[in-house]
A and B are shown apart, each in its own frame.
Chain A
Amino acid sequence: MKEVKCDCGHINPFGTKICGKCGMVLGSEKENKLIDMRYEGSARRSQTYKKTIVDKIWNFFSSVKVGVTLIVIALIASAVGTILPQEMYIPSTATPAEHYELEYGWFGKVYYELGFHNLYSSWWYLIIIGMLGISLLIASIDRFFPLYRSLKKQGITRHDGFMKRQRIYGVTKLDDHDINLDKVKAGLKRQRYHIREENGHILAEKNRFSRWGPYVNHIGLIIFLIGALLRSVPGMYIDKVVWLREGERKEIPGTNGEYYLKNNEFTLEVYDKGNKEDEQYSAAIDKTGTIAKTYQSDVTLYERKGDALPGEKVDLEEVKDYKIKVNEPLKHDHYSLYQVDYKLDELSTMAFNLINKKTEEKFGGVKIDLNNPQKRYELNKGYSVDLISYFPDFEFDDKGEPRTISKIPNNPAFIFKMHTPDKPEGEVSFVAIKETAEPLGENTYKMAFNGVETQDVTALTVRKDLTLWILFTGGIIFMVGVVQGSYWNHRRIWIKRKQDEIVMAGHTNKNWHGIKRDIKKAIESTSLSEPTDQLEEEKSSTKGEVLNG
């Protein structure tokens, strides 16, 4: 690993293209008409050492080519994941293995077999993103420090070869008259250039900070990725759903019993053509049918006072009332509660009258709380009803036996035993919606349906995400960096005074149009000739056919 010694005496690390001190062009770079100014021609750190395995890994991640390749791989992989819906977007009732084949044929089957239905949490997708993150960090470290150093130490007097090989270059012959550069300096100062002088040579520079933009935005991205990583640390993230009936109060899952929530009322509102304020939507409503306007849960939040074990009676203190709507979650103490789902008109009570089938005479009524039925209901004197069996979500099983498939009263069914003065042993009747049976023979009495009461149920997502502020910080830093790097550009103008000529060269990392305008403005009132854009000259001489080097 040889170091490179410049004519001016400065020793540069291996791989340096332009002497860090005087700007003399070194090595093979001499053959080019224009020099490559990226990273100021300084040596990237990874080029300097490449012996050990650590260095080899380091160099791999430091390469922009590898970085861009990783970006492209991530891009293609992400696109593949959108061909068919991911597992989380298929109906929750469907079995993925069957669903993909049923919906999308053989292609769906292959897609599922390859694991693309869960692509974004697959190990290989994570590895791609992880490697991208590693490349982001290492490539930044590798480039930032040498660049920082060479910009900090850059000389004011630059070698002729350096000047000549700049894209913007011009020479003004001083025949007899001298040119006062003060005017140029003033012109540049007015444009907020920072001027440094050395033996009559000038370096005007502005917006150097924009060079740090890429590194700042990479730091932002790394912070963002760290935030995403921390999410899986226990306690950082909670994602639960709680279903609450109207009037019901429950512990909010995920809060360790600290908070309770009561659903006072759930409202679903739809757009109504008849309503004056919704008039303008009538065409759309006619076309699509019902369009929802609001989903709203009126809730009360409670906090537990003191300690209590799960299951123990708790002292609750009301914290606040809130109307949770989509886009307006209830936020309290790191927790957020979001309106995510609902169920309208769940049955809550069912009423029956005990009647004589023939005479239709009534002997009193029962109202059964479907979520808390009683064993026995007393009616008029001498009449009573026993509830022998209750199936809140009734169906017949394979053997033809009645059973319930859940505890939610979606389809309640009852087996009653009706005791009456003339049938003291009682008559058994099976009652379900739109269905009655008398399994033990013909009855005299029956339980006649007498209406239902319903209530709405709301579903709320409980969310705690302590990584949000990290992600947000990362996002802001990224935005700052990207704006810093994109909306400003680092411009430098060198002016060198030789015996009978003034040489001028300019460089900018982007927006050449801008630096040319700056130079033109600065030399307006002087007799300096405007430097030319050597790249454009080159092109016009080759008729614009070749542009890429």
Chain B
Amino acid sequence: MEKRKRRLISRTIILLLLGAALVFALYTNFTKDKNESLRKGSVAPNFVLTDMEGKEHKLSDYKGKGVFLNFWGTYCKPCEYEMPYMEHQYQNYKDQGVEVLAVNVGESDYAVNNFITKHDLTFPVMIDQGREVENAYRVDILPVTFLIDKEGQVIDIITGALTEKSIQKHMERIKP
């Protein structure tokens, strides 16, 4: 009797382990694409970039503020579409503790400066010349926006063009 009980327990344990392994395999297979990118709730990787005016921006210096971190390129239509809205909302929220950082994906100074002039951008725009920040944030599709709260946590990742309304909504979310 004793023996039989022991056997039942060991069989149950083995089956549970194997079942768990199978579930794990299925789970990771379904979340494979998400694994490639940064996860919501993780700490935003710190970085340092110099904007077009020569000012250095270190992400950790913005602790206590919300950061609207946008990756973009001049050749990317949806990026261009959302820029004026970002600019507009930046004006509304910059005094409420929300910072906009627009990181260009390694284009020339010429292209970026032309773009800033064209759209009258006043928030800091910086070029990620070595693509290092892009790698750290595992950027794949443009545009992509990382919403970073005052604790330095990525609370959301949004790909694709944003409307003015949604930008405002997101800025509300990261407002300290």
Contact = CB atoms under 8 A, between A and B. Distances in A.
Contacts of B81: none
B25 A257 contact: no
Contact of A251 (B22, B25, B135): B135
B11 A55 contact: yes
Contacts of B14: 137-138, 141
B32 A232 contact: yes
Contacts of A250: 130-131
Interface stretch (B82-90, B92-100, B110-118, B156-164): B110-118
Question: By DSSP majority rule, is chain B's interface helix, strand, loop, or mixed?
Answer: helix
A371 interface: yes
Contact of B26 (A126, A310, A405): A126
Nearest to A397: B77
Nearest to A370: B108
How would you classify the secondary structure of chain A's contact residues: helix, strand, loop or mixed?
Answer: mixed
Which residue among B74, B111, B128 has the maximum number of chain A CB atoms within 10 Å of its CB? B111
A126 B21 CA distance: 11
Contacts of A416: none
Given A58-B11, A234-B35, A407-B74, A390 B132 contact: no
B30 to A, nearest CB: 8
Interface residues of B, number: 45
Contact of A232 (B28, B108, B111, B130): B28
Given A55-B8, A311-B49, A121 B21 contact: no
Interface residues of A, number: 48
Interface string A221-253: 000001001001110000000000000001101
Contacts of A126: 22, 25-26, 29
Interface stretch (B40-48, B63-71, B146-154, B165-173): B40-48
A74 interface: no
Nearest to A134: B18
Contacts of A138: 14, 18
A310 B47 contact: yes
Interface stretch (A76-84, A208-216, A351-359, A372-380): A372-380
B7 interface: yes
B29 A123 contact: yes
B174 to A, nearest CB: 21
Enumerate the 10 nearest inter-chain pairs by beta-carbon distance, A residue then B residue, closest first: A232-B28, A310-B132, A130-B22, A310-B47, A311-B49, A310-B136, A312-B48, A311-B47, A404-B75, A310-B133
Given A310-B48, A310-B136, 11 more contacts: A54-B12, A54-B15, A126-B26, A234-B35, A311-B49, A375-B110, A389-B114, A403-B75, A403-B77, A404-B75, A407-B111
